[in-house]
Structure 1
Amino acid sequence: MAQRVLVIGSGGREHALAWKLAQSPHVKHVFVAPGNAGTADNGKISNSAVLVSNHTIVTQFCKDHNIGLVLVGEEALLAAGIVDDLRAAGVRCFGPSAKAARLASDTSLTKAFLDRHGIPTARWKAFSSAQEACRFIISTDFPARVVRARGPAARKEVTITASKEEACRAAQEIMQDRMFGEMVVIEELLQGEELSCSCFTDGVTIAPMPPAQAHKRLLDGDQGPNTGGMGAYCPVPQVPEVLLEQIRGAILQHVVDSMRQEGTAYVGVLQTSLMLTKEGVKILNFKCQFGDPQCQVILPLLKNDFYEVIQATIDGKLCSFMPAWSESSTAVCVVMASAGYPGDCDRGMEVTGDRGKVFIVWGKKVTFGGVGAGCEGERADFGS
């Protein structure tokens, strides 16, 4: 019997999740809460105003509307334990537990986990005092110029600075804006090419996805402030398969195995951002769900029924149900944002582009077919 599905979130990622789910004959309807302009009354897809921050209200909504599956796109809600609460109420839900989601939401915990298991990452140290952070920045023999605010509410608050003095100012600003007890993580600045590698995992087996590469800086030429991603493409042809196999085994599978060994099985989508440095591959961070632009370029290449992949992941059956990916297709996402992004900008403003405009990406012609709405361009069209 076809099921009703609830996707929680409001970005292009949630549009991509709903779009792919709606293709399944197992899915009767997809609700997106709160959704966006692209998911409003779109065939089998519609928006819902259910208050997603209240887990009790979401649980009741699922029971009232006979929801057979919930997908949580927003990482802050995963870190807040929405999957745990829904599952405790008997609602089938896709995503990691709150404890597992800390791999993405708590920077210092993640860094300590990587060090503990011998997984390469940038040199780092966490501080609860801006003065101590600055003393560390000035005294380091490596370029300590990446400043991260710790915690799920500040996941995108990453500052890449041009000097140690600028790094000190960034640390001071972050600590001034944080509540008592928050921390700032100072990291070594890594040089190289950045890459996103993701997988489905049932806590034991990983099902790798094709790699994607996002453009993080706001402006062309790798200039401007860091953002959540101004676009992405998939696959990444310049990365050899032998390196991808190394990443999947020595990093993704290693992380899943280590989480399970520490008593916290990780079930859902695990995405890692990596830097391909001269010294080898090093971890930048994790996401406990698809990244927004990455989701929009990875899912169009999935050849399987997405709903069936999710069910196999939840049921621990990935070992006998490996997803297949198109080897002849390429997907591209371009983000259009309101002026001022990623800082203060007008939300709810329509962002438009020239439909039919052709871009050249890796020698292939790609036709623009989407229209954005909101501060970050929240609508996406797929299949162009």
Structure 2
Amino acid sequence: MKVLILGNGGREHAIGKKIFKDCHSVDLYFYPGNGGTNQIGKNIEDHHTTLDLCLFAKKNSIDLTIVGSETFLYDGIVDVFKNFGLAIMGAHYLAARLEVDRVFSKSFMKKYGVRTPKYKVFSSYQKAVDFLEKTHYSVVIKTSGIAAGKGVILAKNKTEAKNALNSIMIDKKFGKSGNTIIIEEFLKGQESSIISIFNGKEITPFLSAKDYKKIGEKETGSNTGGMGTIVPNPYMTNEVWMDFKKNILTPTLEGLLLEKLTFFGFIYFGLMITSNNVYLLEYNTRMGDPETQALLPLMNSNFFHIIQSALLQKKVSISWKKLCSCCVVLSSKGYPEKYESGKIIKGLNSLMEPFYIAGAKKEKERWITSHGRVLNMVGLGKTMDEAIKMAYNKVKKIHFENLYYRKDIGL
């Protein structure tokens, strides 16, 4: 079989590695891919539009396309592929609005009784400011569009909130994504990520993950695409799982079925676990990065067979190793703002699996940095402490100019 995976990060490398490990007979293609994906398959060169990719899949008899990166979902690639009779794993455009359009997503949650923090929507800067004047608690300000996962600002007081509004609505830091904003009640607690697979009839959750989104230690500084992950999340107790299934997963499934937003793909629940309840902060309609990199090494089951079962709307069951996992992201100093690329990476050849290439390419037998998030070091262990130690032991073997990583993942 031939499989095309869309995206260029560590997530796509992890998906490809797991499929390759489980099914050696599968030929892998990646667009645009990275230096790591080119080692296990073939990267499609040059720039391609959605239609180009569709024609490539037709011409090369691609059996299945897996959408890794959300940017392809926004372009409606699933709808185009389906119109050409091509099998593709991902949310169609209307369903992808659960991630792309936060206002739509919040309205969906409210309509179907999915427990989520209280919120207000504003398209007027002045009305948003007026609302803040009457607010006496911390708030989270979100762009309606997702702004590459970075359009979320926690404001601890009115000054910070007004500065955030100015940045988003006046200075247009996130472009058109900030034309409409959400001011949401701030909840204190622990975040959890639940990636799930959706076969169009049932949602099957994976293990829980804890993602570290901020660039700085102790969750400080700017939001990033993710600086590390641990699996399983220690805060997802049996009681929390039951609460999640009853008040978030079940009403979400009901809403998807009633609104005809069914698709074959992944759905990600971004949760906040408070002292009383679990709340849904956001949906993603794809696998998370770097959660995927920590999850897939723990999967006992054949990942490709799971995907095939979901495609055929068969019941999905997943077996997991009784281990813990820790993923540490190595980035270029300056990420998520300005950073330099083209730095020579040393130490990759001495690494034991699992590890993933996120933003690096190979030139004349040398590995070179090419993006903000460069490598994903994954440690596995019988305990979380052991997994964390294994991950950071791998980190110590890697060297490149302007290397940056958080030293507190899982701690």
Cα deviation, residue 272, structure 1: 0.9
Structure 1 distance, partners of 2:402, 2:133, is: 36
Pair 353,147 (structure 1): closer, same or farther in 2 beyond 3 Å: farther
> Is the 1:120–1:283 contact (alpha carbons within 8 Å) kept by the matching residues of 2?
yes
Structure 1 distance, partners of 2:129, 2:401, is: 37
**Deviations 1:335-365 (CA, angstroms, capped at 9, x unpaired):** 1111211122224545667967998973214
Determine helix, strand or coil for the equivalent of 2:63. Answer: strand
Describe how 1:179-190 pairs up with structure 2 within 5 A. Answer: 179=176, 182-190=179-187
Structure 2 partner of 1:103: 98
Describe how 1:307-326 pairs up with structure 2 within 5 A. Answer: 307-318=304-315, 321-326=316-321
Cα deviation, residue 374, structure 1: 12
Structure 2 distance, partners of 1:253, 1:120, is: 11
> Is the 1:341–1:376 contact (alpha carbons within 8 Å) kept by the matching residues of 2?
no
Structure 2 partner of 1:25: 23
Q: Identify which of 45, 49, 52 aligns with 2:45.
A: 49
> Is the 1:37–1:373 contact (alpha carbons within 8 Å) kept by the matching residues of 2?
no
Determine helix, strand or coil for the equivalent of 1:285. Answer: strand
Unaligned runs of 5+ in 2: 352-376, 405-411
Structure 1 partner of 2:355: none
Is structure 2 residue 328 aligned with structure 1 residue 304? no
Pair 172,57 (structure 1): closer, same or farther in 2 beyond 3 Å: same
Structure 1 distance, partners of 2:285, 2:37, is: 23
TM-score (norm 2): 0.82
Cα deviation, residue 242, structure 1: 3.1
Structure 1 distance, partners of 2:71, 2:146, is: 6
**Deviations 1:273-326 (CA, angstroms, capped at 9, x unpaired):** 1111123111111111111110101111111211111111122112xx312222
Structure 1 distance, partners of 2:266, 2:177, is: 32
Structure 2 distance, partners of 1:83, 1:102, is: 13
Q: Identify which of 92, 114, 130 aligns with 1:119.
A: 114
Pair 191,351 (structure 1): closer, same or farther in 2 beyond 3 Å: farther
Q: More deviation in 347-356 or 305-314?
A: 347-356
Structure 2 distance, partners of 1:180, 1:247, is: 29
In the alignment, residue 134 of structure 1 is paired with which amino acid? V
**Deviations 1:201-236 (CA, angstroms, capped at 9, x unpaired):** 112212220000011121112222222211001112
Determine helix, strand or coil for the equivalent of 1:159. Answer: strand
Q: More deviation in 343-352 or 78-87?
A: 343-352
Q: More deviation in 146-155 or 174-183?
A: 174-183
Determine helix, strand or coil for the equivalent of 1:62. Answer: helix
Structure 2 distance, partners of 1:255, 1:338, is: 38
Q: Identify which of 273, 289, 293 aligns with 2:290.
A: 293
Is structure 2 residue 204 aligned with structure 1 residue 207? yes
Q: Identify which of 127, 134, 137 aligns with 1:139.
A: 134
Structure 2 distance, partners of 1:257, 1:203, is: 11
Is structure 2 residue 66 aligned with structure 1 residue 71? yes
In the alignment, residue 21 of structure 2 is paired with which amino acid? Q
> Is the 1:31–1:45 contact (alpha carbons within 8 Å) kept by the matching residues of 2?
yes
Structure 2 distance, partners of 1:372, 1:85, is: 43
**Deviations 1:23-66 (CA, angstroms, capped at 9, x unpaired):** 233742111111112212x1x423222534x1110011112222
In the alignment, residue 363 of structure 1 is paired with which amino acid? D
Say how many residue pairs are matched.
368
Q: More deviation in 180-189 or 192-201?
A: 180-189
Determine helix, strand or coil for the equivalent of 2:290. Answer: helix
Structure 1 partner of 2:338: 344
Q: More deviation in 105-114 or 123-132?
A: 123-132
Structure 2 partner of 1:58: 53
Pair 97,345 (structure 1): closer, same or farther in 2 beyond 3 Å: same
In the alignment, residue 152 of structure 2 is paired with which amino acid? V
Is structure 2 residue 145 aligned with structure 1 residue 151? yes
Structure 1 distance, partners of 2:5, 2:59, is: 16
> Is the 2:190–2:274 contact (alpha carbons within 8 Å) kept by the matching residues of 1?
yes
- Sequence identity (%): 31
Pair 11,277 (structure 1): closer, same or farther in 2 beyond 3 Å: same
Structure 2 distance, partners of 1:123, 1:350, is: 48
**Deviations 1:228-286 (CA, angstroms, capped at 9, x unpaired):** 21100111234312321331343123212211112221431111111111231111111
Unaligned runs of 5+ in 1: 378-384
Structure 2 partner of 1:363: 385
Determine helix, strand or coil for the equivalent of 2:36. Answer: helix
Is structure 2 residue 229 aligned with structure 1 residue 232? yes
